[in-house]
Structure 1
Amino acid sequence: MSKLEERESRRKSIVGNMIESSSSEGSGSGMRGRPKEERELKKRISLSVQPSLYDDIQKIAYVQRKSVSEIICSLMEQYRNENQKDLEEYENVRSI
């Protein structure tokens, strides 16, 4: 067996041992990392806004120590709460 073949054989056995040990460790509990929380996942969306408006929102977010996403989310929740009647009307129209 040449030196190259010998090195390759040793490498394969080391990699094989690593794979076997990691699969046997993971099969014990079946879960790794943090447990899943029972909460609604966020949806990614894309918005088109004027650059000057976005710059101002970023400045406000910086001063308030919030992210732009947090500010937009709270504004959208406020808008939804203010327009609850429209949501109810939508549900009525949809059920017909």
Structure 2
Amino acid sequence: MTSVLTLEAKLERTEKSTPWGFRMQGGKDFNSPLTIQKVNPGSLAAKCGLQVGDIILKIGSTATDSLRHTEAQSNILQSGNHLDLLLQSPALTSRADLTLASNYY
């Protein structure tokens, strides 16, 4: 039986020009959950522990199960320099049961 972890990732940046460093796929319009497709090495997302295959359950306080892909992108863009994600991840790696937080400036 595969267990899953639910993790909170809090990403911060000082400038909007700094990319979060991940790509997502899916959404209501694709009939699949919003999922992390790519994490750029050394990026804020990588430093915060995001991994390919993580499912995005919430962007800020907004549940993603009814969001189209473009709506999710909009929510991320509107988050400014503080992006809070609630993620569900297969517990296949030792990611510790913690709340992930980054304050990389």
Q: Structure 2 length as normaliser, TM-score?
A: 0.20
> Whose relative contact order is higher, 1 or 2, with alpha carbons under 8 Å and at least 6 apart?
2
**Larger strand proportion, structure 1 or 2?**
2
Q: Please tell me whether Structure 1 or Structure 2 has the larger radius of gyration of its CA atoms.
A: 1
